[in-house]
Amino acid sequence: MSLFEWDDSLNTGEATIDRQHKNLLAIVNRVRLVGESPDREVEVMQSLTDMYLYAKEHFFDEEGLMDRLGYPGAERHKAMHKSFVDKTHALTDACLEGDMDVKDLCDFLITWWRRHIVVEDVKIVRFAMGNAVGNIASAPANNASDKH
C-alpha cells in the first residue's frame, strides 16, 4: 500500500501547525499499515491515543489561529474538529468492546486527511495569505481572553 507524503503545498507557514499536520500524516500512514501488523490491536490503540493527543493540541492551536485571523469559516471549521473528536470516541468505544473495524478507522483517517487537511485547512492558509495580515506566522499572539 502506498503511503501519503507531505507536499509543500500543505505548508501553512506556521511551524507548530505544520509539525502537527505532519504528526497526523504519520498516524494516517501507520493506520494504513495496521492490517499487515502482527500487533494489530496494540497499533490500533496507540493510533487512537495519538489521535486524541493530536486533536487536543492541534485543534486548540488551529482554532486560536482562526480566531486571531478573523477567519470567516471558523465556527464551521470548529464543528468539523468536534466531529473528529466524536468519531475518535466512537472508535475507541468500539475498540474497547472488542468490536474494532480497522477499515472504518482507516477510511475515517484517509477521508479526514483528504477533505479536512488538504481542503479545509488549506482554505485557512489561503485566507491568511490574501488577508492584510499577509502571513500566518506574523499574526498577533493569541490572547486567552479572546477564547470563546
Q: How far is the CB of 35 from Fe ion (least distance, A)?
A: 27
The closest alpha carbon to 52, from 104, 94, 89, 95, belongs to 89
Please identify, using beta-carbon distances, which residue of 43 and 62 lies nearer to Fe ion: 62
Cell digits of residue 62: 488551529
The answer to whether 6 and 25 have CB atoms below 8 angstroms apart is yes
> Hey, which residues between 32 and 71 contact Fe ion (CB under 5 A)?
62
Binding-site residue total for Fe ion (CB under 5 A)?
2
CA 106 to chain centre: 14
In the list 121, 122, 127, 133, the residue contacting Fe ion (rule: CB under 5 A) is: 121
Q: Which stretch binds Fe ion (CB under 5 A): 4-12, 18-26, 68-76, 116-124?
A: 116-124
